Amino acid sequence: MKTPRPYLEHILQECEFLIERVKGISFEDFVKDPVLTRAFVRSLEIIGEAVKNLPKEFREKHSKVPWKEIAGMRDKLIHEYFGVNYRIIWETILKEIPELEKQVKEILQKEK
C-alpha cells in the first residue's frame, strides 16, 4: 500500500499557500490577476491529484474529509478548464481550504 504521508504533505503545503495568498485581496483583485488565478487553480489541481493518490482504505478510514468532492473538483478543473468558475474557486479557498488544512494536520498528527 502507498504511504499517504507524502500526499498529505502536498495537500497541506497547497492549503497553506492558498490561505496565505488569499489574505488581503478581494475577489475582484483575484479575477483581474491571471498569475494568481492560474496559481490558485493549479494548487487546487495538486490537492485533487494528491487526494486521488491516497489509498482507498486510508480515505475510508478518514471519511470525514470530503475526498470524493475534492477529487471531483480536480477533474472539473482539468477537463473543463475553459469553463472555470472563479467565484467557486474563490469560495472554496475561503471556506473549504481552511477546514481541509485543519483536517490534514490532525491526520498527520495521528498517523505519526
**Distance (Å, rounded) from C-alpha 108 to C-alpha 73?**
23
Side chain identity at residue 57, one-letter code: E
Structural contact between residues 30 and 86, judged by C-beta atoms closer than 8 angstroms: yes
**What is the residue whose three cell numbers read 483583485?**
29
Q: 108: which residues sit within 8 A by CB, 6+ positions away?
A: 5, 8, 9, 12
Name the residues annotated as catalytic. 74, 79
Structural contact between residues 88 and 44, judged by C-beta atoms closer than 8 angstroms: no
